Structure 1
Amino acid sequence: MIRVLRLAQEVGLNWSKAQDMGDKAVSEALFPTTDGKLHYKLPDYEAVHTAMAQPGVTLQLLWIEYCDRCHDADALPYQLTQFKKYYRQFVQRTKATMHIQRKPGEHMEVDWAGQTAELTDPDTGEVVKAYKACMGLLQMAETYTPQRLDGACAKALRYSPRPSWKSVQTILKSGQDLIREEESESAKPSNVGFTRGAAYFGRGRD
């Protein structure tokens, strides 16, 4: 939007003038071309495909970087849907290997954090490489606010060094994340017993 306003100011186009012009005329005034059509900057899909092999890289992240480069060069970027569409066409046309080989509906795709974690078995000492799945928490974000999710995760970590997705869900459903720490502490039963013996109350007298 800022770029369009800047271009309109450069060509002397204001709102009153634009109202009397058609969409095609406004587009030609802001983005003049030889054939009267808007020209978008084609992404470097060879570089995109290479970057997709790196951990933690997504098409959406690469699209954002592509848009930044277009804006720096005063070029028009494709929208995300077009960016992904043309990437799929590039893969099919060049016979490039997709990084996820599957038939539609055959497997469930799980969102994960991109990096792997190492878990050490406390009994055997064996180190196991694991993927940090986050689909469950992402689905919870549709129901609970980020503040509640953060609070529930923090409380689950206080209960266990390796909390499960189920424990976070239980905390959210029961509202334990909404209880302040001082209230939670005051609700605990007191471990202080009576320190005065039976003699103080007149018992055990002769």
Structure 2
Amino acid sequence: MMIDTTLLRILGACFYYAPQTKTFQNLLPVLPELSSLHSWENINQVQQICSSFSQINTGDITYDFSILFEGQGAMPAPPWGSVYLAHDNTVMGESTAAYRQFLMTKGLVTETGVREPEDQFGLILMAISALAEKGEDEAIIVLLEQHLLPWAYRYLELVQQSQTEQPFYPNLAIITEQYLRALQQQLNLTPIKAELYR
């Protein structure tokens, strides 16, 4: 199975780490190169977006990060799966428990030092990368079909529609959606049909 762990790790980290963290700042120089890490279907659009990444100032996107990921005000696109899969839109719902159980069976424990739901979008992308590095192909298919893809496109759509001050996160969502759709096609995945409540 050909999964680019580098691309997944970078995208995952961008959807997880705050712009002022060292991890995020270390990624900045790499972001304009994302267009060369995958054979994108819409390469012109991706190259355009990636070249815009070279102009990012982390101070300019800190506010957008807090709106999208930390819940300052009403969150336009909550990054946790259970918000979409639980009819009362709660975090840490049944889907989170099922995903946590899945991670434990694969020996992946998300220790971020913070008590937070494991089904955070960026964390899941990084988990796929970790599974790929361990050669856990079947687990990746289960993760994508059952735990991520049922809600991921809806989440990415909401990020793209978010009224952010800077286009960074909506652009990141466009690239990530393209990558996940390519992956779904390439691995011939059939995501479980889940009712979405968001």
Which interval holds the TM-score relative to the shorter structure? under 0.3
Higher relative contact order (CA 8 A, sep 6+): 2
Q: Which has the higher strand share?
A: 1
TM-score by length of 2: 0.21
Q: Which protein shows a greater Rg?
A: 1
TM-score by length of 1: 0.21
Q: Which has the higher helix share?
A: 2
